[in-house]
Chains A and B, each alone.
Chain A
Amino acid sequence: GQQVMQIPQYQHVQEGEDFTTYCNSSTTLSNIQWYKQRPGGHPVFLIQLVKSGEVKKQKRLTFQFGEAKKNSSLHITATQTTDVGTYFCAGFGLGSNYQLIWGAGTKLIIKP
């Protein structure tokens, strides 16, 4: 079946360093969504990318959708303690009957 692979599983960074998580789908996606789950919380929608090659920015966060619509990345510049949490990507495959396929998430940990 369709899968979305997300790496890395964990990333430890010093505050102020950059962070990147990558998603790769086994099939073409109609779009890709990104969610953030804070420790003890529930996933919250961040952004959606729809177009091939699309790039969107939210302050220090940059989201990209690949040209083939099979991969995506989230890059955070100069991480802050408020960025701590798990970042998930999720996408609808073409003809997927409205089922979102989720990546396993990348947990961002800020080193003390």
Chain B
Amino acid sequence: KAGVTQTPRYLIKTRGQQVTLSCSPISGHRSVSWYQQTPGQGLQFLFEYFSETQRNKGNFPGRFSGRQFSNSRSEMNVSTLELGDSALYLCASSFGQGYQETQYFGPGTRLLVL
């Protein structure tokens, strides 16, 4: 079974631009969660989508948004990029219907904002 894939793997943008990141979950998984990871900051939860609906949301500004398609693929968008948005963005997938499910992470997209 193919794992979680994320594209692109690396990205360089300048302040004020916007960016879209993509995540393809494991086949059959309907939940996709997004996390931001900066050095020494752990995993900061952005949001989770399940069956095309945002089910949970973290404490990030409205510049961070996401969506999920009918095939469970998900995208996240960051508008008006700031230097502080430089981070590793990870997505994780699961079936999303039980409290004993584990999350499977993709390799991440490393975003650098100049």
Interface residues of A (CB under 8 A from B): 9, 30-31, 33, 35, 41-45, 48, 50, 88, 90, 92, 96-100, 102-105
Contacts and interface: CB of A to CB of B under 8 A. Distances in A.
Give the size category of B's interface with A. Answer: 20 to 34
A42 B48 contact: no
A42 B105 contact: yes
Contact of B103 (A9, A45, A103): A45
B106 A88 contact: no
A88 B104 contact: no
Contacts of A43: 43, 90, 92, 103, 105
Contacts of A96: 99
A98 B104 contact: no
Given A97-B55, A102-B45, 9 more contacts: A42-B106, A42-B108, A88-B42, A98-B31, A98-B50, A98-B55, A100-B45, A102-B43, A104-B41
Given A88-B43, A105-B42, A98 B102 contact: no
Contacts of A44: 105
Nearest to B107: A42
A89 to B, nearest CB: 11
